[in-house]
């Protein structure tokens, strides 16, 4: 079992969430804020690249194993955009109405039923140089106009395959149980339980 694991995020909500999810598999989960870690610029071109960059930076700064995540929405007809730019499309005000409108505009309004996927990649970096990534993905289609009050980000325009409601119309517990993040975490847990 990993005694101390740095979670390369300044989001205390995420630290608590991972603490619960990894109970019994990792000892103490410590956030980047506790260690005054800088937030590295996400300069890579893939979810894996950016997740590894963040995990590596936290591991190097602390000398402890570090975990990070990177996630976003990819739209097939936009060559994967917004993808790693999912947060950035919402701008400094985190305006996701604007970000969803940009998807609509870039598709020239032809958005209904377009293939999309939510992707999450978790990266683990150990002081001995070992690195592992775990990917979770939920395939679906886009729908317009935005519907639903739950969730966040691009949830109101994403309909997962096999359903006819958007992620923002799901009961939050149901979405969390089947989300891209949950799927990546399952793979991470399987890895840690074999360590
Ligand atoms: P990150 O925090 O840099 O990984 O940015 C992830 C971005 O992707 C978020 O700001 C959201 O815009 C988007 N995203 C990731 N997961 C979800 C989700 O479950 N629902 C809606 N949007 C998401």
- pTM for the model: 0.95
Calpha distance 57→34 (Å, rounded): 15
Higher pLDDT: 189 or 1? It is 189
pLDDT at 61: 95
Instruction: Report strand pairing: 158-160 vs 115-125.
Output: unpaired
Question: Which of 182, 185, 82 lies closest to 142, judged by CA?
Answer: 82
Calpha distance 86→100 (Å, rounded): 10
**Ligand 1 center to 104 CA (angstroms):** 18
Calpha distance 22→32 (Å, rounded): 17
For 134-185, give the DSSP string.
EEEEEEEEE-SS---SSS-TTGGGEEETT-SS-GGGS-HHHHHHHSHHHHHH
**Ligand 1 center to 154 CA (angstroms):** 7
Q: SS3 for 116? A: strand
Task: With a cut of 80, say whether residue 195 has pLDDT above it.
Answer: no
Q: For residues 62 and 28, is the Cβ–Cβ distance under 8 A?
A: no
Q: Where are the domains of the chain?
A: 2-194
- The residue from 69, 70, 128, 155 that is catalytic is 70
**Mutation pick for ligand 1 pocket among 54, 86, 88 (CB with most ligand atoms within 8 Å):** 86
Q: For 17-72, what is each residue's pLDDT tens digit? A: 888 889 889 999 999 989 999 889 999 999 999 999 999 999 999 999 999 999 99
Q: For 120-147, what is each residue's pLDDT tens digit? A: 999 999 999 999 999 999 999 999 999 9
190: alpha, beta or left, given left = phi > 0 and alpha = psi -120 to 50? alpha
Is 70 assigned a catalytic role? yes
Q: SS3 for 127? A: coil
Q: What is the CATH number of domain 2-194?
A: 3.90.950.10
Higher pLDDT: 14 or 78? It is 78
């Amino acid at each position: 079992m990993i005694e101390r694991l740095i979670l390369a995020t300044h989001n205390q909500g995420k630290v608590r969430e991972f603490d619960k999810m990894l109970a019994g598999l990792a000892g103490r989960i410590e956030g980047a804020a506790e260690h005054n870690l800088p937030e590295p610029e996400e300069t890579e071109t893939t979810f894996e690249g950016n997740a590894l960059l963040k995990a590596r930076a936290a591991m190097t700064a602390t000398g402890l194993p570090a975990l990070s995540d990177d996630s976003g929405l990819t739209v097939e007809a936009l060559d994967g955009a917004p993808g790693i730019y999912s947060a950035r499309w919402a701008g400094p005000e985190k305006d996701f109405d604007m970000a969803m409108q940009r998807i609509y505009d870039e598709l020239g309004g032809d958005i209904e039923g377009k293939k999309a996927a939510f992707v999450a990649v978790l990266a683990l970096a150990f002081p001995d140089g070992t690195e592992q990534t775990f990917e979770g993905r939920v395939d679906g289609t886009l729908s317009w106009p935005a519907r639903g009050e739950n969730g966040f980000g691009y949830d109101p325009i994403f309909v997962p395959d096999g359903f006819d409601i958007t992620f923002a119309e799901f009961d939050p517990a149901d979405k969390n149980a089947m989300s891209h993040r949950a799927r990546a975490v399952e793979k991470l847990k399987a890895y840690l339980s074999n360590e």
